[in-house]
């Protein structure tokens, strides 16, 4: 009886955390949107449906997400074919390192692509010199095209890995049989390969659509209000126009659409087998010129798309002089010449982000560990319900979460709006589902016979946990901790709503600096972006080294 009370008592800790800081703020959003406090009914939803401006925002959000998804899948599918069919030097390293783009903060990526493709970007400068032109040949700055390019950069790797991991489990004998029956060329793709890959394409497409549908930092920095999506419009209505009922209505519309997408995605996952098999089982060394050209094209594409913008960012963060390289932008992070802009020297934001990230890591791993172990140890409807509740924050964007904090935690009984502790709490809600999706599969992969043998020998549940289960999953625990740390370091959307001016984080300081016309401020933003890039890269390398052999890396 005591052990049972302890188990359920521990479960109450993460459930109470979710109730106070996730479900209560969401209920406040619904309260504002449906006018439960103002007796206005569905007035705001009617404004969304009948006003061309708001209706256009919803349609544009769907439109840009659809275009981004089609472009990403169109690029990832032929690249996946090369990774599956051919064995070449550096393939595994390239496939693993490509995932770095997915964990990078949006502010870093937005600045990197502006430096590469902007009006004064490196590529335009080179083309203007080559063509002897005074006008930039590439006009992508503040356009939908730039947003789409960055969305492809972000989601290419995740789509590639989903398709590749599924394709490696498809028997090559089906394609060989089709060839023997005379099917080749485009017919082989249309009648055999695409139908076989449909579950992976649908799953990857839903993932990419969801990520681009809720894209915030990329659209805010590269598109602004002119290309506002629902995310940007919620932020604009809440913190600029102060129309909280409209922001709430838009948030509910987004929640409904993302909820439907999440339900469809969950169903498609049942048809996917995401176990990694050795690529050499089906891959072959390219011998023909066509095969070599395909491999070279994919290598060039991946390097240019995923690594060139980051290289340009690092290059531009350095000051080039006749006597060598200067680190003046980095040195400038130690001072604050204009306190009205940042309140504190930029370097303080680095310390703030580290402290918030460490607190987030501790909270996420502790709460996620309790939830994962409870779901693993028990079965039935209760365990499935707990797992669903814990994963649910994954379906809510960081902006909607931050907006919920603004509404729900600004007045009694939870008047915590100005408390600095809201930052790691908000970051924990973003990171918690990721932690759970790392720990729970690791626990479920444990050999059941080992646990049964220990229990038969008289070991209690807690002794089994400390002596058998934890030693077997310690790598996954560290991976989940690194994921939580990295997520907190780069979190931008929710931070805009909860960070205090005197305790800014790295992404917020970068966003404020790039909005200033002063070149010195822009240079400091580049320096801080490189620092954030290095932190994320080191975290990513740690994840890849710690990731258990045979485990899927997709979240």
The verdict on 409 and 467 lying in the same domain is: yes
The fraction of the chain above a pLDDT of 70, given in percent, is 86
In this structure, is residue 4 part of a structural domain? no
For residue 423, give the nearest of 343, 368, 493, 477 by alpha carbon: 493
Judged against a pLDDT cut of 70, whether residue 259 lies above it is answered with yes
- Considering the domain architecture, whether residues 22 and 125 belong to the same structural domain is answered as no
Task: Please tell me the predicted confidence (pLDDT) of residue 459.
Answer: 65
> Does 431 lie in the same domain as 541?
yes
Burial class (CB in 10 A: 0-12, 13-18, 19+), 306: buried
Query: In the listed set 284, 315, 346, which residue is the last one of a domain according to the structure?
Result: 315
pLDDT of residue 323: 60
Tell which wins on pLDDT, 141 or 432.
432
Residues 6 or more apart whose CB falls under 8 angstroms from that of 290 comprise none
Spatial distance between the Cα atoms of 224 and 228, rounded to a whole number of angstroms: 6
Residue 52 to residues 56, 181, 254: CA-CA distances in angstroms?
6, 54, 17
Q: Is the pLDDT of residue 6 over 60?
A: no
Is 550 a residue whose pLDDT tops 50? no
If you write DSSP's letter for every residue of 226-295 in order, what string do you get?
Answer: GG--HHHHHHHHHHTS--HHHHHHHHHHHHHHHHHHHHHHHHHHTT-------GGGT-B---SHHHHHHH
What is the C-alpha to C-alpha distance for residues 37 and 409, in angstroms, rounded to an integer? 16
Q: What is the mean pLDDT of residues 120-142?
A: 84
* CATH classification at residue 300: 1.10.3720.10
pLDDT tens string 301-320: 888 888 889 899 998 888 76
Vertex 298: Cα angle to 297 and 302 (nearest 5)? 120
Q: What is the pLDDT of residues 439-448, one digit of tens each?
A: 888 888 877 7
Residue 276 has a pLDDT of: 42
417 and 477 in a single domain? The answer is yes
At 36 the pLDDT is 53
Tell me, yes or no, whether 291 and 378 share the same domain.
no
Judge whether 3 lies within some domain: no
Q: Please indicate, yes or no, whether residues 31 and 138 belong to a single structural domain of this protein.
A: no
pLDDT over 90 (residue 393): no
What are the tokens at 553?
């890396």
Residue 452 reports pLDDT greater than 90: no
Q: Are 523 and 397 part of one and the same domain?
A: yes
Q: Would you say residue 46 lies in a domain?
A: no
- Phi first, then psi, for residue 504 (nearest 5°) are -70, 160
Q: Are residues 111 and 59 in the same domain?
A: yes
User: Quick one: pLDDT at residue 3?
Assistant: 54
pLDDT band at 555; cut points 50, 70, 90: very low
418 belongs to a structural domain? yes
320 assigned to some structural domain: no
Cα 198 from chain centroid? 24
What is the pLDDT confidence band of residue 274, given thresholds at 50, 70 and 90? Answer: very low
Confidence check: pLDDT of 450 > 70: no
Q: How many CA atoms lie within 13 A of 381 on its CB side?
A: 0
Domain boundary (258, 285, 315) is at 315
Reported as a single tens digit per residue, the pLDDT across 94-122 is: 777 777 777 788 888 889 998 888 888 88
pLDDT at 16: 93
Q: Does residue 327 belong to any structural domain of this protein?
A: no
- 468, with CB counted inside 10 A (0-12, 13-18, 19+), is middle
Cα–Cα dist 69/75, whole Å: 10
pLDDT, tens digit (0-9, with 9 covering 90-100), for 468-500 = 777 888 888 898 998 899 999 989 988 888 888
19 and 72, same domain (yes or no): no
* 459 and 539, same domain (yes or no): yes
pLDDT at 342: 59
Instruction: Give me the pLDDT at residue 427, please.
Output: 94
Same domain for 337 and 292? no
Mapping DSSP to helix (H, G, I), strand (E, B) and coil, where does residue 420 land?
A: coil
Query: Which of these ranges, 60-74, 255-269, 344-358, 368-382, has the smallest mean pLDDT?
Result: 255-269
Give me the numbers of helices (H) and strands (E) for the chain, helices first please: 29, 2
Q: Report helix, strand or coil for 321.
A: strand
Structure tokens at 366: 């502790």
Residue given tokens 């004998």 in the structure block: 173
Say which residue, 503 or 319, is predicted with more confidence. Answer: 503
473 Cβ contact list (under 8 Å, min separation 6): 439, 442, 443, 446
Q: Is 239 part of a structural domain of the chain?
A: no
Q: What value does the mean pLDDT take over residues 503-518?
A: 85
Q: What is the pTM for the complete model shown? A: 0.85
pLDDT tens per residue across span 276-306: 444 445 667 787 888 888 888 888 888 888 8
Look-up: residue for tokens 């990721």?
434
Give yes or no: residues 24 and 156 share one domain: no
Chain segment 11-34, per-residue pLDDT in tens? 889 999 999 999 999 988 888 777
* Mean pLDDT across 232-255: 88
Residue 5 maps to a domain: no
The pair of structure tokens assigned to 373 is 């172990």
CA atoms within 13 A on the CB side of 185: 2
Q: How many structural domains is the chain composed of? A: 2
Q: What is the residue range of 449's domain?
A: 10-37+333-555
Q: Which of 249, 284, 315 is the last residue of a domain?
A: 315
């Amino acid at each position: 009886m005591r052990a049972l009370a302890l188990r359920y008592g521990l479960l109450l800790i993460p459930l109470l955390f979710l109730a106070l800081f996730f479900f209560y703020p969401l209920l406040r959003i619904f309260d504002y949107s449906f006018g439960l406090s103002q007796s206005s009914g569905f007035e705001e939803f009617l404004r969304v449906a009948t006003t061309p401006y708001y209706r256009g925002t919803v349609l544009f959000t769907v439109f840009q997400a659809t275009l981004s998804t089609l472009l990403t899948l169109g690029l990832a599918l032929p690249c996946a074919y090369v990774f599956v069919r051919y064995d070449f030097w550096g393939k595994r390293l390239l496939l693993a390192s490509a995932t770095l783009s997915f964990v990078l903060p949006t502010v870093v990526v937005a600045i990197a692509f502006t430096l590469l493709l902007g009006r004064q970007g490196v590529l335009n400068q080179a083309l203007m010199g080559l063509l002897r032109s005074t006008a930039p040949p590439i006009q992508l700055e503040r356009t939908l095209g730039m947003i789409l390019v960055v969305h492809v950069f972000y989601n290419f790797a995740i789509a590639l890995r989903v398709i590749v991991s599924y394709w490696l489990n498809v028997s090559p004998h089906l394609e060989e049989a089709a060839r023997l029956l005379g099917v080749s060329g485009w017919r082989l793709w249309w009648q055999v390969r695409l139908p076989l890959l449909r579950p992976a394409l649908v799953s990857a497409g839903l993932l990419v659509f969801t990520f681009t549908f809720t894209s915030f930092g990329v659209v805010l920095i590269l598109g602004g209000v002119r290309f506002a999506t629902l995310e940007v419009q919620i932020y604009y209505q809440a913190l600029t126009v102060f129309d909280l009922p409209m922001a709430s209505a838009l948030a509910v519309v987004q929640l409904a659409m993302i909820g439907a997408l999440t339900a469809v995605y969950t169903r498609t996952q049942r048809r996917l087998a995401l176990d990694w098999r050795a690529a050499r089982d089906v891959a072959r060394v390219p011998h023909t010129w066509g095969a070599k050209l395909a491999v070279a094209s994919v290598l060039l594409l991946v390097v240019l798309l995923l690594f060139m913008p980051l290289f340009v960012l690092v290059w531009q963060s350095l000051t080039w002089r006749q006597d060598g390289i200067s680190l003046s932008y980095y040195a400038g992070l130690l001072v604050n010449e204009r306190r009205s802009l940042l309140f504190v020297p930029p370097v303080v934001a680095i310390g703030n982000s580290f402290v918030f990230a460490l607190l987030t890591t501790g909270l996420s791993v502790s709460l996620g560990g309790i939830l994962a172990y409870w779901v693993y140890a028990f079965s039935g409807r209760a365990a499935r319900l707990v797992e669903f509740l814990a994963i649910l924050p994954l379906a809510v964007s960081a902006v909607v979460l931050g907006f919920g904090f603004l509404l729900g935690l600004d007045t009694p009984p939870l008047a915590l709006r100005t408390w600095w502790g809201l930052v790691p709490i908000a970051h924990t809600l973003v990171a918690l589902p990721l932690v759970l999706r790392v720990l729970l599969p690791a626990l479920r992969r444990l050999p059941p016979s080992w646990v049964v043998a220990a229990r038969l020998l008289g070991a209690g549940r807690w002794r089994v946990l400390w002596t058998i289960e934890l030693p077997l999953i310690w790598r996954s625990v560290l991976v989940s901790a690194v994921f939580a740390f990295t997520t907190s370091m780069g979190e931008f959307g929710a931070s805009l709503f909860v960070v205090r001016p005197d305790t800014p984080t790295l992404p917020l300081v970068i966003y404020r600096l790039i909005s200033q016309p002063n070149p010195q401020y822009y240079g400091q933003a580049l320096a801080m972006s490189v620092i954030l890039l290095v932190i994320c890269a080191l975290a990513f390398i740690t994840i890849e080294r710690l990731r258990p052999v045979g485990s899927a890396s997709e979240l």
